[in-house]
Amino acid sequence: MDPGRKAMIAGRGPPARDITAPRHDPNSRISKPTRPSGSGSRTPDFRPPKNAPTLEDEQSRQWVSQEDNFVLKQAKKKADIRVREGRAKPIDWLAVILRIIDPDRDLLDDDEEEVQVDVVDPEGVFEGLSDVQLAELEIDINSYVALETKKRNHDYWKTMQIICTDRRQKLKPLGPEGRAVSSVASDVDKLLGPKTYEQLEALEKQIRAKLRSNEPIDVYQSVLDSRLDTLRKQQEEDASGVRAKLQEMLTGPTSVVEEGSENQVEAQNVSQLVRRQPNFQYSSTHDPEPLLKLHNEDKAVEVVDESVFLQKIVAERRRVLKLGYIPSRQPTTEKLSSSSTMRASGAVASSSAPPGTQRFSTIVNEDFSQATKALYEREVARGVNEDEEIFTGEESVTTTAKPQWADKYRPRKPRYFNRVQMGYEWNKYNQTHYDHDNPPPKVVQGYKFNIFYPDLIDKSKAPTFKIIREHGRKRGESFAPAGEEDTCLIRFIAGPPYEDIAFRIVDKEWDYSAKRDRGFRSSFDKGILQLHFQYKKAFTRAVCCTNFLHPCATVNFIGSFDTLHQAQADQHFMINPTAANISRNNFGLTTPMSAMPQSSTPTAWNGPNQTPLNFDDQTTSDYYGYSANITSNEQVNNFLRGMSFSDVPRTWTPYDPRMLVDNGIGAGSFEPSAYMIDPNKNDMQTSVDGPDLQFDAPENSRGFSRLSISRSPKMECDALASDTLAFSKPAPFRLPSTDDSDDGDRSSREMTAMDIDDHCADEPYAKLIYRALMSAPNHSMVLQEIYQWFRENTVKGSSDTKGWMNSIRHNLSMNAAFKKTERKIAGDESKKSTEWVLEEFAIKDGVQSTTRHDILRSQFSQPQGQIAQRQSSPLTPPSHESMPSSSNPYFFPKVEQLELPYGGPCGLEDVQGVYIDDSPLFTDNHGAQFCDGLPRF
DNA sequence: CTATGTAAACAAC
DNA sequence: GTTGTTTACATAG
CA of A641 to C1' of C3 (A): 35
- Maximum alpha-carbon separation in chain A: 117
Chain C: positions less than 7 Å from a protein CB are 2-9, 12-13
CA of A566 to C1' of B2 (A): 20
Q: Going along A443-598, which residue ranges are E strands?
A: 443-452, 464-468, 487-493, 501-506, 510-511, 521-525, 528-535, 539-546, 554-559, 572-575
Strand B–CB A39 distance below 7 A: yes
Map residue A595 onto helix, strand or coil: coil
Judged on CB neighbours under 10 Å (0-12, 13-18, 19+), A789 is buried
Phi, psi of A140, rounded to the nearest 5 degrees: -60, -45
Strand B–CB A764 distance below 7 A: yes
CA of A636 to C1' of B3 (A): 24
Can you tell me which residue has its alpha carbon closest to the C1' of nucleotide B8? A806
Give residues 797-816 of chain A lying near strand B (Cβ < 7 A): 801, 803-804, 806-807, 809-811
Can you tell me which residue has its alpha carbon closest to the C1' of nucleotide B10? A42
In chain A the domains, ranked by start, together with CATH numbers, are 53-223 (no CATH), 265-279+296-377 (no CATH), 384-535 (no CATH), 539-725 (no CATH), 763-845 (1.10.10.10)
Strand B–CB A37 distance below 7 A: no
Strand B–CB A765 distance below 7 A: yes
- The per-residue pLDDT for A401 is 60
CA distance A40 to A874: 25
Strand B–CB A45 distance below 7 A: yes
Give residues 831-870 of chain A lying near strand B (Cβ < 7 A): 848-852, 854
- The per-residue pLDDT for A677 is 27
- The per-residue pLDDT for A208 is 67
Mean pLDDT by 10 residues, chain A (937 residues): 38 35 37 40 35 46 60 73 69 76 52 49 74 83 82 81 82 51 54 64 69 55 68 78 71 45 44 50 58 54 78 81 64 33 32 32 44 76 78 73 72 85 72 77 85 82 78 69 74 83 83 57 79 68 34 37 26 29 28 27 30 30 31 35 37 29 26 28 29 27 24 25 24 28 32 35 76 81 85 76 85 84 59 77 68 35 32 35 32 25 26 26 27 29
Strand B–CB A3 distance below 7 A: yes
CA of A807 to C1' of C9 (A): 14
- For A674-782, where are the alpha helices, taking DSSP H only? 718-719, 756-760, 765-774
Chain B: positions less than 7 Å from a protein CB are 1-13
CA of A572 to C1' of B2 (A): 30
Q: Are A420 and A504 in contact (CB under 8 A)?
A: no
- The per-residue pLDDT for A143 is 80
CA of A417 to C1' of C11 (A): 39
- Closest nucleotide to residue A15 (Cα to C1')? B9
CA of A254 to C1' of B1 (A): 84
- Closest nucleotide to residue A835 (Cα to C1')? C3
Give residues 524-553 of chain A lying near strand B (Cβ < 7 A): none
CA distance A68 to A82: 21
Q: What's chain A's average pLDDT?
A: 54
CA of A806 to C1' of B8 (A): 10
Element (H, E) at A131: helix A131-147
CA distance A396 to A627: 43
